[in-house]
């Protein structure tokens, strides 16, 4: 529906262009479409929808390579990127338009 526009926005946010990012944009669009409340017309929130989907795609793209961390004894360091919290911000942006889900989410857990 909005794949090209989402990809364009995601490319700007991530400062990247790749086939993987394109696939993640489509996945983010599909995810948000499934979660839209029944009474929401996606065309009436097009700009917000595209922005949120691009943010989610960039969040997935950033974590695509796995977690970057290391440990030495009792000290462990995990790389944190400003892009990491884009999914949470996208959910806030779409809060009035999507179903909240179960209310239980794993954050930062690979599974």
DSSP 95: T
| Max Cα–Cα distance, the chain, nearest Å | 53
Pairing between strand 69-72 and 75-78? antiparallel
Q: How many structural domains compose the chain?
A: 1
In which domain, by residue range, is 7 found?
3-93
* 108 domain residue, yes or no: no
pLDDT, tens digit, for every residue of 37-70? Answer: 999 999 999 999 999 999 999 988 887 654 455 5
102 in any annotated domain = no
> What stretches of 10-83 adopt beta strand conformation (E)?
69-72, 75-78
Question: What is the reported pTM?
Answer: 0.76
């Amino acid at each position: 529906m909005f794949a090209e526009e989402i990809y364009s926005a995601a490319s700007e946010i991530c400062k990247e262009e790749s086939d993987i990012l394109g696939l993640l944009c489509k996945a983010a669009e599909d995810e948000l479409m499934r979660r839209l409340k029944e009474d929401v017309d996606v065309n009436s929130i097009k700009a917000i929808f595209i922005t949120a989907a691009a943010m989610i795609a960039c969040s997935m793209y950033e974590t695509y390579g796995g977690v970057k961390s290391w440990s030495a004894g009792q000290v462990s360091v995990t790389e944190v990127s400003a892009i990491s919290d884009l999914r949470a911000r996208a959910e806030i942006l779409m809060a009035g338009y999507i179903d909240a889900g179960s209310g239980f989410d794993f954050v930062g857990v690979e599974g």
